[in-house]
Amino acid sequence: MKKAIARGNPKGMAPPGRSDTGYHHGELQEALIAASEAILAEHGADGFTLREAARRAGVSPAAPSHHFGNAQGLLTEVAIRGYEALAAALLQAASGKRNARDRLHAQGLAYVEFALTHPGRFQMMFANKRLVADDERLRAAIKAAGREFERVVAELAGGTPKQTGIAAAAAWSTVHGFAKLALEGKFGAGNDEAGRREIMRMLVQVLNHLWPRDARDVA
Amino acid sequence: MKKAIARGNPKGMAPPGRSDTGYHHGELQEALIAASEAILAEHGADGFTLREAARRAGVSPAAPSHHFGNAQGLLTEVAIRGYEALAAALLQAASGKRNARDRLHAQGLAYVEFALTHPGRFQMMFANKRLVADDERLRAAIKAAGREFERVVAELAGGTPKQTGIAAAAAWSTVHGFAKLALEGKFGAGNDEAGRREIMRMLVQVLNHLWPRDARDVA
DNA sequence: CTAATGATCTTAACACCGTTAAGATAGAGA
DNA sequence: TCTCTATCTTAACGGTGTTAAGATCATTAG
């Protein structure tokens, strides 16, 4: 009775993810992750919905559960890739700088740049309650990104590992707080390119203030 | 039209909870705000729902709309009180300290203490998309809290207003980032009293690292 | 080649959510 | 008294995440 039109997409159009053989997707996981990242980019962390992600991937709202369990599972996968991208950005930023202080400044700029370029993804990466916080791979990705940071800080701070930890926490807190406050508009609306430039210029001064080239730069 | 939030009842009466003369509440706004703060305290920023707030206040889901327009309106009111409480905490923390640096440290501790004590409320205060971001009273409350901060920083940084602004942004970024990272568990789970103590101890070291008593404290 | 099996996806339903429209009730003023 | 306005309720709408049950595919066992 209900078979003739029961074929996959009721509108007759093939789903975005190719289905040369029936209605199987083949790469649903990747499609869902890509869709989620697109939603985060377009509507921010609060704009994400699982159903919309499924919609964009061309599947039913229940399909994602077979691959990710629930929305948290999918978002965790997105967050993992986010941390990997962040770690890569931090690594790239530190390369080719002459000294430790320049590397730290470059990483700070890269961190905020990352946050302002991908606000939704960034916010989601730190929305613990929307992720599987104790996921093994997520924890590893976070740790890897953190190490990328500590590596540079260690050169500056020297001393005991504990002192390095403090210095890293200080640097991370500062750039993270700056990024968060900037995203919430506390440093002026950074919507257009001009506002964004202004924010980055302010960040340079903040970094120069807290990690000066030498004592004279403070005054 | 609507609105104007006509506050206060002409003939002072009607005890809270539910009037004995039918179904009028008398102080619904306060009841809704209190309920919202309770929800934020119990279930965090993501756990808030307008319907639950109405439920706790003993009214229908549609009742809040007459007083706050929508959920954003109610949460904005909650955020305003949050910023007022934060400003008070910062003011109180700075009082009775011998010098500018001690005042700054005390405010930093108070800021993070505030965040860890009222996580849900704190997160909501910075969840711009869930508030009426351009609300006049909200902006004023934010500015007031910020001024409480700048006032102390100005003593330390001295120099031009611009330099003071940079120094204030640096201090705010650091404590805000530290608070956010702590709330997201990046510095260890701060659920119990022990973890929380550890976090605060780490904060003291971070503050000492970035704003040392004198040059020798860095090394 | 066929049959069975397990992975994948759909349909349908559930309980919630925020918001709105329309109507009932209360209190205050004419 | 009658009317007006603010307040609150009921009922509905479209949206959400999640689940159970069934259909379909891809692969492998016989």
> If one looks up domain A79-217 in CATH, what number appears?
1.10.357.10
B84-110 per-position pLDDT tens digit = 999 999 999 999 899 999 999 999 999
Distance B66 CA to D6 C1' (A): 9
Domain A25-69: homologous superfamily in CATH = Homeodomain-like (1.10.10.60)
Confidence of residue B26 (pLDDT cuts 50, 70, 90): low
Nearest Cα residue in chain B from A171: B174
Could you please state the CATH topology (level 3) that the domain comprising B78-217 is classified under. Answer: Tetracycline Repressor; domain 2 (1.10.357)
B138-183 per-position pLDDT tens digit = 999 999 999 998 999 998 877 788 889 999 999 999 999 999 999 9
The answer to whether B76 and B36 have CB atoms below 8 angstroms apart is: no
A72, A104, A174: best to mutate for the B interface, most B CBs within 10 A: A174
> What's the pLDDT at A210?
96
Least confident of A11-20, A38-47, A49-58, A154-163: A11-20
A86-121 per-position pLDDT tens digit = 999 999 999 989 999 999 999 999 999 999 999 999
**B44 Rama class: left (phi>0) / alpha (psi -120 to 50) / beta:** left
> What's the pLDDT at A190?
82
Confidence of residue A214 (pLDDT cuts 50, 70, 90): low
> What's the pLDDT at A22?
42
Instruction: Say yes or no to pLDDT of A12 above 80.
Output: no
User: Does strand C come within 7 Å of the CB of A62?
Assistant: yes
User: Does strand D come within 7 Å of the CB of A72?
Assistant: yes
Q: Which residues of A touch B179 (CB under 8 A)?
A: 177
Give nearest nucleotide to B64 (CA–C1'). Answer: D8
Residue A87 exposure: Cα atoms within 13 Å on the Cβ side: 18
Instruction: Say yes or no to pLDDT of A217 above 50.
Output: no
Residue B85 contacts A, CB cutoff 8 Å: no
Asked whether the beta carbons of residue A173 and residue B206 sit closer than 8 angstroms, the reply is yes
> What's the pLDDT at A25?
66
A108-165 per-position pLDDT tens digit = 999 999 999 999 999 999 999 999 999 999 999 999 999 998 999 998 877 788 889 9
All structural domains of chain B with their residue ranges: 28-68, 78-217
Please identify, in words, the CATH class of the domain defined by B28-68: mainly alpha
Tally C-beta pairs within 8 A across A and B. 91
> At CA A17, angle to CA A16 and CA A20, rounded to 5?
105
Asked whether the beta carbons of residue A128 and residue B174 sit closer than 8 angstroms, the reply is no
User: Can you tell me the distance from the alpha carbon of A63 to that of A53, in angstroms, rounded to the nearest whole number?
Assistant: 10
Alpha-helix runs per DSSP H in chain A = 28-43, 50-57, 65-68, 71-94, 100-117, 119-125, 136-157, 161-183, 193-210
Chain B span 7-26 residues with beta carbon within 7 Å of strand C = 9-11, 19, 21-24
Distance A100 CA to D14 C1' (A): 56
More confident residue, B202 or B155: B202
Q: Which residues of B touch A142 (CB under 8 A)?
A: 186
